[in-house]
């Protein structure tokens, strides 16, 4: 019997704004490739890998069926998930029908408002509905703090000579990221469950959602049986496998 390789798609936490100055470009020159890279994992299954300093921060992914697309996580900012939806539109005529939050952390749910505005159901663990608009406040500075950071960066940019291109690019990236952060409206999932398995159907293609303890205590995994692909969220990272410790 031929063995099939199970692809594990793991997200990595990259709240870069809390660690280092975020890179940036003007809105007019911003490009999707500055924020994430699309990797085809299997037929109709893609991972969107965040780029350092971009607007995505955490990874995302999507599954294409013959009657719709399932989005797995919504990045850190509305701008980034808008870019992802545009990229999906280049690959398929099928619309995004549903979305999943693997857990509540802002780099996985910051674009929820975009899906909610389109009337697209967002599925998550029960606890995500409790934590998304509360615990995520620690990852999102207050509006006045963001405005102050933006004003400081804009002042530095205005005073910087044109020939210091690298420094100007860094400041422009900071401005773009700060603008994107100021647009975030913490938005809860619309459909939740706390145990068992939820089966979604994108036409003939099935995606199974289930929960396991670990990472936040409110994590959902998404398995695509026909592709043998498992989206695991931050329960697996590059330097840890698996993340058994339950944290909030």
Show the DSSP H helices in the chain as ranges: 78-91, 106-109, 112-117, 126-131, 143-159, 165-182
Mean pLDDT for 149-161 is: 95
- The answer to whether the bond into 242 is cis (omega within 30° of 0) is yes
Q: How far is CA 22 from the centre of its chain?
A: 17
Stated pTM of the model: 0.84
Q: How confident is the model at residue 217 (pLDDT cuts 50, 70, 90)?
A: confident
Q: How far apart are CA 21 and CA 194, in angstroms?
A: 37
Give the pLDDT confidence score for residue 18 in this predicted structure.
30
The SS3 assignment for 138 reads helix
**Cα dihedral 205→209→210→213 (10° resolution):** 130
Q: Is 17 helix (H, G, I), strand (E, B) or coil?
A: helix
Q: How confident is the model at residue 26 (pLDDT cuts 50, 70, 90)?
A: very low
Q: Higher confidence at residue 67 or residue 32?
A: 67
- What is the tens place of the pLDDT at every residue in 72-107? 999 999 999 999 999 999 999 999 999 999 999 999
Q: What's the CA gap between 166 and 120, in Å, rounded?
A: 40
Token pair for residue 15?
Answer: 């709240």
The model's pLDDT over 173-189, given as tens digits with 9 standing for 90+, comes to 999 999 999 999 999 99
The whole-angstrom separation of Cα 92 and Cα 100 is 19
Q: Do 88 and 95 touch, CB atoms closer than 8 A? A: no
Q: Are 100 and 115 in contact (CB under 8 A)?
A: no
Q: Domains in the chain, please, with CATH?
A: 7-233 (3.60.15.10)
Q: Distance between CA atoms of 173 and 192, rounded to whole angstroms?
A: 36
**How large is the average pLDDT for residues 231-237?**
80
The tens digit of pLDDT for each residue in 101-138 reads 999 999 999 999 999 999 999 999 999 999 999 999 99
The whole-chain average pLDDT of the chain stands at 86
């Amino acid at each position: 019997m031929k063995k099939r390789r199970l692809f594990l798609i793991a997200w990595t936490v990259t709240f870069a704004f809390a660690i280092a100055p975020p890179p940036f470009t003007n809105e007019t020159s911003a490009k999707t490739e500055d924020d994430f890279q699309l990797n085809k994992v299997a037929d109709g299954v893609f991972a969107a890998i965040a780029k350092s300093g971009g607007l995505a921060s955490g990874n995302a992914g999507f599954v294409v069926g013959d009657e719709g697309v399932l989005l797995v996580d919504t990045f850190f900012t509305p701008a980034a998930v808008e870019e992802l939806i545009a990229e999906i539109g280049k690959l398929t005529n099928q619309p995004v029908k549903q979305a999943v939050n693997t857990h509540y952390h802002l780099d996985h749910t910051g674009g929820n408002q975009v899906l909610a505005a389109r009337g697209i159901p967002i599925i998550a663990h029960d606890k995500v509905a409790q934590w998304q608009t509360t615990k995520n406040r620690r990852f999102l500075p207050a509006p006045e703090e963001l405005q102050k950071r933006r004003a400081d960066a804009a002042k530095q940019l205005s005073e910087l000579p044109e020939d210091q291109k690298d420094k100007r690019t860094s400041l422009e990236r900071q401005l773009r990221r700060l603008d994107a952060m100021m647009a975030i409206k913490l938005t809860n999932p619309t459909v939740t469950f706390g145990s068992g398995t939820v089966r979604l159907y994108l036409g003939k293609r099935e995606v199974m959602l289930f929960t396991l303890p670990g990472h936040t205590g409110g994590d959902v995994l998404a398995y695509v049986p026909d592709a043998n692909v498992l989206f695991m969220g931050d329960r697996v990272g590059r330097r840890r496998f698996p993340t058994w410790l339950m944290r909030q």
